[in-house]
Amino acid sequence: MRSLLTYVLALLLATWILLPLVVIGLYAFADPRQYYDIRYVVPTRFSLQAFDEVFFGLGAWRAVLNSLIVALLTVFLSLLLGVPAGYAFARFVFPGKDVLRSFIILTRIFPTIVIAIPLAEVYLRLGLADTLIGVALCHTVMALPFTILITYSTFVGVPRELEEAAMVFGCTRLGALLHITLPLALPGIAVAAIFSFIISWNEVFMASILTLVNRTLPAQIITMIAGGTAGAVPDPYKFVAGLIMAVPAMIFILIVRRYLVTAWGITLR
């Protein structure tokens, strides 16, 4: 009975998560003639008309490309800065270590709306306004505290004795880090990468403030909906936009998931 209850709860949870995605996918490609027909709760005929109009007619493909570039840049910069910082917090003792680690968390206490206008002014002066690298830098600042804390906790879980043994057998500290510690820390680094990607992919407010032409996908969708009133946008367009938002993030997670480790220490392949 306990196993049966576990399977039932798992099925309910999976249904709760997957049902919205299934509904979005069905109605994104539903035939317009059946979309508003109350006789068809589940569409039986499908069309690429709405997808074609949103993806190509409204230029969503360019916004998707911009979002992918910004998100991947955010992941790269977050890991480039966050992994060494997390390793330093985990392995070294230095004055103000605990205070600095707390200060990293405090950087997220300010609402983005408070810093949006000053940041836009700074970007205008530096020539970073309406550029993808500018948005990526902003998203990196948002994701970096979480990247540092996740990698810090991961490196703490890697025994220090393994690095010391590697150095006894001739490795430098850098060599021990690259060949021993980093491979063991890949699951935590993968989690940090997923977290950074999702933060960048879903972020809409700063991207809307800092860009005008080179919009990311969330900013483009908000612009499309707010172009007049939300009711003026056909409902199929909204489902197509939701599908376009969900699919790339899911693909990225599926690619990175092979480096995740479950609570039982089993690597997902």
What percent of the chain stands above pLDDT 70?
92
CB 170 within 8 A of CB 161: no
CATH topology of domain 53-259: MetI-like fold (1.10.3720)
232 — pLDDT class (breaks 50, 70, 90): low
10 — pLDDT class (breaks 50, 70, 90): very high
Mean pLDDT score of the chain: 83
Q: What pLDDT, in 10s, does the model give residues 133-188? A: 999 999 999 899 989 988 998 898 888 888 888 888 888 888 888 888 888 888 88
Query: DSSP secondary-structure letter at 265?
Result: S
In terms of Cα–Cα distance, which of 193, 186, 182 is closest to 76? Answer: 193
pTM, 2 dp: 0.81
Residue 204 clears pLDDT 50, i.e. is over it: yes
Residue 214 clears pLDDT 70, i.e. is over it: yes
- Sign of the Cα torsion 167, 172, 176, 179 reads negative
H helices of 127-181, where? 132-156, 160-168, 173-176
In terms of Cα–Cα distance, which of 100, 199, 181, 187 is closest to 144? Answer: 199
For residue 136, give the amino acid letter: A
Residue-range domain boundaries for the chain: 1-47, 53-259
Q: Please give the Cα distance from 89 to 97 (Å, whole number).
A: 7
Q: What are phi and psi of 119, to 5 degrees?
A: -65, -40
What percent of the chain stands above pLDDT 90?
20
Q: Please give the Cα distance from 126 to 175 (Å, whole number).
A: 38
Q: What pLDDT, in 10s, does the model give residues 70-101? A: 999 999 999 999 999 999 888 888 888 878 87
Residue 229 clears pLDDT 50, i.e. is over it: no
Q: What pLDDT is recorded for position 236?
A: 79
Q: What pLDDT is recorded for position 66?
A: 92
